[in-house]
A and B are shown apart, each in its own frame.
Chain A
């Protein structure tokens, strides 16, 4: 970010998530390594001082492009064959171009779907992946709906057990 100098950002570690523009409820955490100075003022220097690294951050895996990434909650079982289950949280990146075969979030006639972008008889469609209950989830042929939009491409799934 070039000269992004909004005063909000000056608030630093106390800032709430809404300041940071990211979809996280908690304030962005500030990690302080256990050993900040290679030579503490008293006692022996820590043997780990040269090996301190940042803790793992799941955002690195899930959020490739923060301003374009949103999260959504999955309701239903239409993508169980793609290992996306009811109640999962998915990360959705709007900056990725949707191509056939990708799982996308899309709106069609006022409803919001998570489906695989595919083709039915050569026509673009939102396709469910649940072989056991295939009849429950017929494909949505996009040129048959009045109004649709591909919201974004699903890039990850978060599931707590």
Chain B
């Protein structure tokens, strides 16, 4: 029987910050989204104060003295993520990196999975100082439920295996968990399910897959089968690791100006996003690069950077913002650039979009419609007929990252200081 594990880092962004700054330990810490807009991560202490996810920070800050709000430091989080993934990947035969702080692991054939789970937790804690939870199950969907249990029920010490329960124990446990916690069941589907008296994970597990397919989709049918213990999703199936969309070009002539690079990248981003939407996918990260002409004399530069997108998205405007931010980090004046490009990565089918979104659905829908209109126009009248303007206000962007912590692990100038 196959055995999957889902390991993820608790309060990932806030936990990363606490590793390098002991003054934050034991204090309520929140991490804000890009532009310091709203809360995207909370330390346990902040959760205990009742601070919700996705709450706009300006609504909170006056009422809650003592809460430390940090700007998001994605450079640090990406480096810490790579470390976690590497440590866990080295402990198992196969791994799928699902998001910046979650990874599926193949534990099939391992004799004492619970021991391995605790060993993983101990190793990540010692080697990089981050707390993780590990959930195990015969399918990915069951592993995800186990992870939820490991996180919410402290008596298991952060490691839980659904397959160790007797059938009555499993029934009791799954009855206690809301159907909305199931992987792939978003709030909209959950609402409809409740209308059909399917309210708990157990209800959904015991539902008829065929009925679910008729009423909803093959995706939900598969989810039900997975809950019953039939593995339908292989390690890479949901998230093929090699899948990516690239858009890059060499320039007609070498360019040196920031503004020119910005416009070029803006165009490439729009193209890549069109391709992304055409194949009904969303991206989780974007890689941006610029380089000079290695065949010409003169100073050479080749730089690239990957930024995780806050949420899975296919929105040109959102992704453009990340790309432009990346360019600001990459760009040095005084070089003659020959080529630039963007690559969208961590692609997943749109229907699998995670439900924990920080955007309000009405706005997202509007964006979807805007993008759709854009794609239609460009399809009919030729690529590039309509495009988004390059956003101005470079200064604003910087100003809105007021409380960013040092890039402890990627900049010599930002190293942790020890006395």
Contact = CB atoms under 8 A, between A and B. Distances in A.
Interface of A: 1-8, 10-11, 13-21, 23-25, 27, 65-68, 70-76, 78, 89-90, 94-95, 105, 107, 109-114, 147, 149, 151
Interface stretch (B47-55, B172-180, B182-190, B406-414): B406-414
Given A21-B82, A68-B127, A105 B244 contact: no
Contact of A8 (B23, B84, B287): B287
A49 B80 CA distance: 40
Contacts of B129: 94, 151
A4 B86 contact: yes
Given A3-B95, A4-B86, A5-B242, A11 B418 contact: no
A11 B417 contact: no
Nearest to A114: B418
Given A8-B287, A72-B417, A112-B419, A21 B95 contact: no
A17 B410 contact: yes
Contacts of B23: 110
Interface of B: 22-23, 25-26, 75, 78-79, 82-87, 89-90, 92-95, 97, 123, 126-129, 236, 241-244, 285, 287, 289, 291, 302-306, 343, 345-346, 408-412, 415-419
A78 B409 CA distance: 24
Contacts of A94: 126-129
A149 B22 contact: yes
A74 B90 contact: no
Nearest to A158: B412
Contact of A25 (B95, B236, B289, B410): B410
Given A5-B241, A20-B82, A147-B26, A14 B415 contact: no
Contacts of B411: 25
Given A10-B242, A72-B415, A89-B412, A1 B86 contact: yes
A1 B241 CA distance: 15
